[in-house]
Amino acid sequence: MTRVLVSVRDAVEAQVAAAAGVPFIDLKEPSRGALGGLDPAVIAPIVAQLRTSAPQAVVSATIGDWPAEAADEVAARCRAVAATGVDHVKAGVVPGGAALALLRQLDALRRTEGLPIVPVLVADDGVPWALVDAALAAGFELLMLDTVDKRGGSLLQRCALADLQRFVAASRAVRARPGLAGALRAEDWPQLAALAPDFAGFRSAVCAGDRAGTLSAERLLALLRMSAGAAQA
Ligand SMILES: O=C[C@H](O)COP(=O)(O)O
């Protein structure tokens, strides 16, 4: 069954997600970019709050949007976010240039320091196969596709369905857990349910206004109803 991931920016939104029963709560500041990072000093108390209010929820946080060349900052931010007690640390990898080197660095941090890093592979121009293959070969437990430019339509419009199916199948083949995100819409749910990734991430679709706006409890509940309906079908 595909779990819903919802990105929240503060303790109030985290509580809305917890009360709605969101199974995978992701902490980020959307106005700072696709993977806009919150200060670890802000993340830690929200994680502590969620451990009480939503003990079943998986909790992740992003490290922020960094260029692949910013190796030291990426490492420092991965360590700082992991230290907040999140289950997963999401780190973006944009195809091109130093992307494979960044992926190797994230893998080294995971292996040598035990940091629970989830590579978020940017798929604005289609599935980045070289990065997917490298992430799967490295043995990441979770990996995601997401988009940076949210104005270009949903991930389902940007990537061929066959490619997304292949991404999910290739992940499952090595026992990795795949996630999909990228301006997904509530009406994408039936197609997402058929693709059956481990989780599907939402922000734009559950906000009043754009993704930098406020989390809408109403939209969130409608999405969760849709996902629950698909699970029973
Ligand atoms: O990780 C999930 C993202 O926050 C999804 O955001 P989005 O729906 O605006 O692409």
CA atoms of 171 and 177, how far apart (whole Å)? 6
Total-model pTM: 0.96
Please identify, by atom number, the ligand 1 atom nearest to the C-alpha of residue 35.
Answer: 4
Question: Ligand 1 center to residue 189 CA distance, Å?
Answer: 14
- Parallel, antiparallel, or unpaired: how do β-strands 3-8 and 24-27 relate? parallel
> Does the beta carbon of 184 sit less than 6 angstroms from any atom of ligand 1?
yes
pLDDT of residue 230: 63
Question: Ligand 1 center to residue 73 CA distance, Å?
Answer: 23
Question: Ligand 1 center to residue 232 CA distance, Å?
Answer: 25
Ranges in the chain, pLDDT < 50: none
Q: Best of 203, 206, 207, 219 to mutate for ligand 1, by most ligand atoms within 8 A of CB? A: 203
CA atoms of 209 and 164, how far apart (whole Å)? 28
Is-contact 118 143, C-beta < 8 A? yes
> Does the beta carbon of 207 sit less than 6 angstroms from any atom of ligand 1?
no
> Does the beta carbon of 150 sit less than 6 angstroms from any atom of ligand 1?
yes
**What is the architecture, at CATH level 2, of domain 3-232?**
Alpha-Beta Barrel (3.20)
Catalytically active residues, by annotation:
28, 90
pLDDT of residue 223: 96
> Does the beta carbon of 171 sit less than 6 angstroms from any atom of ligand 1?
no
Domain locations in the chain? 3-232
